[in-house]
Amino acid sequence: MLAAAGLAITLVAFHPGLVTTDSIGQYEQAAAGAYADAHPPLMAWLWSLWLRVVPGAAGMLWTHAVLLWTGLLLVADGAARRGVRHAWVVIAAGFLPPILGTAGEIWKDVGMAASLLCAAGILYRASARGDGIGRGGAALALVALFYATAVRANAPAATAPVLVFWAACVWPRASWRTWCARAVAVLGLFLAAQAGIESRLLHAKRMHLAQILQTFDLAALHCAGDDVTIPPLLFQQGADAGAVCAAFDPHRVDALYFLPTSPLRLDTDRTALRALAGEWRRAIAAHPRDYLAHRLRAFAG
């Protein structure tokens, strides 16, 4: 009842889903059926399937909310099956502002977190007996883990340890080395499948997002007085290095690219990208202290 109440509150409070700049971009791709990898194409593709049933963002809101509250319910039930008193408190955690307050955002972050929680809940509940889990539970957990892996570029760092848990539940009598090896193998299959689906089935356009990191670093070094340059092809019309320093923020890259007055633009021209990568490597080698100082500032931010 508590989990059902949490699900109902999430759906009523946020219906049909709270969208921001990123989610609007994904919605446009879902509606057009044309994908790019600046945002996870698989999430946009799933959204496109929901658009055949319900307009707007409601389908994605339902998906992520069900994953979230089902995951909390399964963890609580797994704890109860292990004899934990007051296991319902696990579900109550879902009402905390950092969780409930973002549960209705149609974000890849929310999708990743909810999928990880649901997968862990499936495993935790199914393994309560201590003698492994069935094929159905193992398969369902893998589906949720694949979605979690596919919806954020840095998700493998989070899904890898959960995959170790998955291997431990499927093969409870194996060694920890076997669990780790099988988790790595499954993660490799996930990434290969994701790449194949995005490139061959969805034909997602590559946006080469590494250029954002590279130009951010070069801007920091240039504005610190070092002799580095950003390839001219990456500048907006009429912008120059002075505009880059005026917009530069050591803690975030948004002002360089994503505001109406931003001096830089994303480019897929391979000549410009190769020049950028070469200058980035040269600049780091020539100014390692300034580069590390910049990275420490960004990390602290």
Per-chain mean pLDDT for the chain? 93
Q: Evaluate if residue 12 carries a pLDDT over 90.
A: yes
Q: Evaluate if residue 196 carries a pLDDT over 90.
A: yes
Quick one: average pLDDT of 68-85? Answer: 94
Residue 267, pLDDT score: 87
One DSSP character per residue, the chain reads -HHHHHHHHHHHHHTT-B--HHHHHHHHHHHHT--BTTS-HHHHHHHHHHHTTSSTTHHHHHHHHHHHHHHHHHHHHHHHHTT-TTTTHHHHGGGSHHHHTTTTB--HHHHHHHHHHHHHHHHHHHTTTSS---HHHHHHHHHHHHHHHHT-TTTHHHHHHHHHHHHHHHSTTS-HHHHHHHHHHHHHHHHHHHHHIIIIIS-PBP--THHHHHHHHHHHHHHTT-S----GGGBPTT--HHHHHHH-BTTBSHHHHSSTT-SB-----HHHHHHHHHHHHHHHHH-HHHHHHHHHHHHH-
Residue 60, pLDDT score: 96
Over the stretch 239-278, which tens digit does the pLDDT of each residue have? 888 899 999 999 989 899 988 899 999 888 888 899 999 9
**In Å, how far from its chain's centre is CA 51?**
22
Q: Evaluate if residue 51 carries a pLDDT over 80.
A: yes
Residue 131, pLDDT score: 66
Residue 133, pLDDT score: 84
What is the C-alpha separation between 21 and 30, in angstroms, rounded? 14
Quick one: average pLDDT of 80-88? Answer: 92
Listed range (24-33, 204-213, 275-284) with the worst mean pLDDT: 204-213
Over the stretch 124-165, which tens digit does the pLDDT of each residue have? 999 887 767 888 899 999 999 999 999 998 999 999 999 999
What is the C-alpha separation between 162 and 154, in angstroms, rounded? 14
Whether the CB-CB separation of 158 and 115 falls below 8 Å is answered with no
Whether the CB-CB separation of 240 and 247 falls below 8 Å is answered with no
